[in-house]
Amino acid sequence: MRMAMRITPRGAALAAATTVLLGLTAPLAAGAPAPARPAWGACAGGTPDGRQLCAEVTVPVDYRQPDGPSLTLAISRIPAARPDQRRGVLVLIPGGPGGSGLNGPSGAVNRLPPEVRDRYDLIGFDPRGVGRSGPVSCGLGDADLSPGRLLPWPVPGDHGVDASAATGRRIADLCAANGGPVLRSSTTRNEARDIDRIRQALGERRISAWGVSYGTYAGAAYATMFPDRTDRIVLDSNDNPDPVNAERSWLAAFATGVEDRFPDFAAWASSPAAGELRVADTPEQVRAAYLEAARQLDAAALPWPGNNPAVLDGNGLRAMLLNGLQADNRFPTLATLILSALRHTPLPPQVPGPNDPTPAQLQATAAISTATLCNDVAWPRGVDAYAAAVAADRVAHPLTAGMPVNVTACAFWHWQPAEPPVRVTSDGPSNVLLVQNLRDPATPYAGALKLRAAFGDRARMVTVDSGGHRAYLANGNACGDALVSEFLATGHRPARDAFCPKAG
């Protein structure tokens, strides 16, 4: 997110059972009426691409009570470019948890190659509780929505456990008081059920899907719970499907992912290519410079106009490290922050962008992200164990300073999971293709290997020698892109796992 979280300077997304409970994995609980066919029309507020239309699908808040309260999911569609070649629908499963996906078709339509665009209606959706699908809020304060708070960065000096525990307890209490039943229902199993409800509304016997980041876990859950309703499944930047720890393992994996990826940034920041943003003369010196910049910011924060909060402290820089490692084109911003901290020079002001989330969107993303992580799996309650883990992890992984094992709101969550996490297995058709960067800071390669192993012969994996988060159509790697596109267009998959060397 690792905890599936994506952090930006102005916003963020906070970021398996032994058996499948057959009565709960059916597409609808007994007696639930079939969803109505979508009534497509213009999307409220406009869309990035004029071809995209929107509609709504009704789903139960609680699938165990199909006649109980319901909510409407916002869905979207861009039709296949060649109706005569149409195969079906490609559902775009967003990351997060808590990421909006309603404009996913607009974002994907011009990136996908013609052979894929010709064959699929592109389908997007806002998950329950997000965007236009009944957005919820825990009523968090502005400070709780800042990059340095959305992940449990320890406070320097005391290992952060006391301060993080106080923050986590307060967030859990606010979510319990303000979140309502939709927040309580936010689980990966229910997202998979919601996707199947969308399938039914579209009148499709089977669906193809492209899940990214947390969307790989939701997609894997769907492929496990509804294997006979899957056509071609692409999972990009893959989460560890740990059947016991689930999201707990994602947060811990940040330590590994950042260590995997940081050398790419260090190589750039010590090369002539960085120009005036060159941080040091060698990669080893870049690492030392980052750690020193964080230490100095721990001692004295720098003003950061236009940002939330209005200063950059050490944990703010650490949060921005995670953001900066997600794509090579973010390296200059990260280098600028490090150099400003070391030189005590003013930080560039943050200018709001046209796609920046609104306060309400930030609230919904933080609420659903937290709720999904806490509702999917039980987290340890004893604070002392977190303190010991943070102390050890700070020494082992100084780049992430103990955050991946620190206490979160889930340690104080007011509810226990209603169902166990999904256990991904090899049961089902052999129609899954994983694509994974070798050096992904958020969903590390090691976790992707675990998802590959869980699927067994249901899956193949394409490993791309690249860094950053997202692999398909993200790195300019013609080899990896071609293998995924061929699978979506023709169904042909590599006979065995494939490796694509570095582009260029």
pLDDT exceeds cutoff 60 at 40:
yes
Identify the band that residue 17 occupies on the pLDDT scale cut at 50, 70 and 90. very low
Distance of CA 125 to the CA centre of its chain: 15
Least trusted range by pLDDT, from 17-26, 292-301, 322-331:
17-26
Average pLDDT for the chain: 91
Average pLDDT on 73-97 reads 97
Confidence category of residue 380, pLDDT binned at 50, 70, 90: very high
Higher pLDDT, 382 or 296: 296
pLDDT at 158: 64
Q: How high is the pLDDT of residue 349?
A: 87
Beta-carbon contacts of 299 under 8 Å, excluding residues fewer than 6 positions away, are: none
**CA dist 421 to 196, 368, 393, Å?**
18, 17, 26
Asked if the peptide bond before residue 135 counts as cis, ω within 30 degrees of 0, the response is no
User: Which domains are present in the chain?
Assistant: 16-136+188-246+421-500 (3.40.50.1820)
Q: What mean pLDDT do residues 492-502 have?
A: 96
Q: Which pLDDT belongs to residue 59?
A: 97
Polymer length in residues for the chain:
504
Task: Supply the pTM of this predicted model.
Answer: 0.92
**pLDDT at residue 95 is higher than 70:** yes
Q: Do residues 440 and 327 touch, judged by C-beta distance below 8 A?
A: no
Cross-strand partners of 11: 8
In this prediction, residues 192-212 reach a mean pLDDT of 98
Closest listed residue to residue 396, CA positions, set 299, 501, 254, 282:
254
What pLDDT score does 359 carry?
Answer: 87
Q: How many CA atoms lie within 13 A of 266 on its CB side?
A: 17
